[in-house]
Amino acid sequence: MSPVAVLIGPPGAGKSTVGALLAQRLAVAFTDTDAQVEADAGKPVSDIFIEDGEPAFRALERAAVARALAGSDGVVAVGGGAVLDPRTQELLAGLPVVYLETGFAEAAARVGLSQARPLLLRNPRATLKALLDQRLPVYRRLARITVPTDGRAPQEVAAEIAGRLAGLAGGAGGR
């Protein structure tokens, strides 16, 4: 069993929204690893960060991503920071990884000052910039397909991904 697509990208890229639309379009299941972490912990991600700390969250995240990648033949949305884990990077190798490319200005506008994004609680703009600087090279390296999301409706992004996945399956896909 292997996912038909694994969506990666920064906070605000639209992984959850686009992932659900893509799964619907492809008539497959959708798995959001952040939702799995919350279900496993019995509390929201923000509470895990505050009450248990980031290392505890990352351990739960690593397990949820591994489980999702091994047990899904649908679309999987992976939390924005999960890709920094070397074991997760190994699991993603060879899979149809789709990087939802989002510029800083658009990502900042999308995430706002959301309490649901615990890493962005203090100085959200500076923190988001630092996260992007750290993660962008990893997203680009892992991606087999890169799809820009700025100024685009989620339905349009999902449609492009579906078309690019068909090309990838036929050997033509790519960045």
14-40 tens-digit pLDDT:
999 999 999 999 999 999 999 999 999
What is the model's pLDDT at position 172? 46
pLDDT of residue 8 exceeding 70: yes
The model's confidence at residue 133, banded by pLDDT at 50, 70 and 90, is confident
What is the model's pLDDT at position 115? 44
Q: Is residue 175 part of a domain?
A: no
What is the model's pLDDT at position 99? 97
Mean pLDDT of the chain: 87
* Radius of gyration (C-alpha) of the chain in whole angstroms: 15
Domain hosting residue 13, numbered range: 5-169
Total domains, the chain: 1
CATH number for the domain harbouring residue 159: 3.40.50.300
Distance CA 174, CA 164 (A): 8
Distance CA 146, CA 164 (A): 9
Using CB atoms within 10 A of its CB, is residue 173 exposed (0-12), middle (13-18) or buried (19+)? middle
Write down the pTM of the prediction.
0.86
